[in-house]
């Protein structure tokens, strides 16, 4: 009986080793960050005030790394208004911050968009939004118009 148990235990170890070798072939080693490095933080698990995630930023920051918590977690220095968020983050939510290699390079704003030669109005702010009849409606204040006739689209 003990001989059978030893045999199955050894076969199980062989299959586990084979499985892990195949699993780790396609995996990349996690990036290593040092204290003081700047990283972007994914906004996947951070709740924002926006009504839809589609309109919010995908990456927040950059934030400096304070210390390494484990091989797959880092402690970040967050903004003071985010003190309710627990600062250690797993490495899958972090992306290294890369500075531009071109000296004194500044991206110019895009030119104004002309659609079918019609005038365009600019929105000064969106003070409120609501879901009405399964659609998202925004209350907008337009630049150049009085604040009294607010419109929604």
Is the pLDDT at 136 greater than 80? The verdict is yes
Is the pLDDT at 15 greater than 80? The verdict is yes
Give the pLDDT of residue 64.
Answer: 94
Q: Where are the beta strands (DSSP E) in 22-134?
A: 38-42, 59-70, 73-76, 88-90, 94-96, 123-132
Answer with the residue of higher pLDDT: 127 or 34. Answer: 34
Confidence of residue 65 (pLDDT cuts 50, 70, 90): very high
Q: Where are the domains of the chain?
A: 38-96, 123-152
- Average pLDDT (8-30) is 88
Is the Cβ–Cβ distance between 60 and 46 less than 8 Å? yes
Residue 41, class by beta-carbon neighbours within 10 Å (0-12 exposed, 13-18 middle, 19+ buried)? buried
Give the pLDDT of residue 21.
Answer: 86
Average pLDDT, the chain: 80
């Amino acid at each position: 009986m003990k001989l059978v148990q030893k045999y199955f235990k050894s076969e199980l170890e062989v299959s586990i080793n084979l499985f892990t070798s195949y699993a780790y072939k396609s995996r990349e080693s996690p990036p290593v960050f040092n204290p003081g490095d700047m990283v972007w933080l994914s906004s996947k698990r951070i709740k924002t005030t926006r009504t839809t995630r589609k309109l919010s930023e995908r990456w927040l920051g950059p934030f400096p790394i304070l210390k390494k918590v484990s091989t797959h977690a880092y402690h970040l220095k967050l903004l003071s208004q985010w003190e309710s968020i627990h600062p250690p983050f797993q490495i899958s939510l972090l992306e290294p911050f890369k500075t531009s290699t071109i000296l004194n390079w500044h991206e110019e704003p895009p030119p104004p968009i002309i659609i079918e030669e019609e005038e365009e109005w600019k929105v000064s702010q969106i003070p409120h939004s609501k879901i009405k009849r399964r659609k998202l409606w925004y209350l907008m204040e337009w630049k150049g118009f009085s604040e009294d006739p607010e419109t929604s689209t």
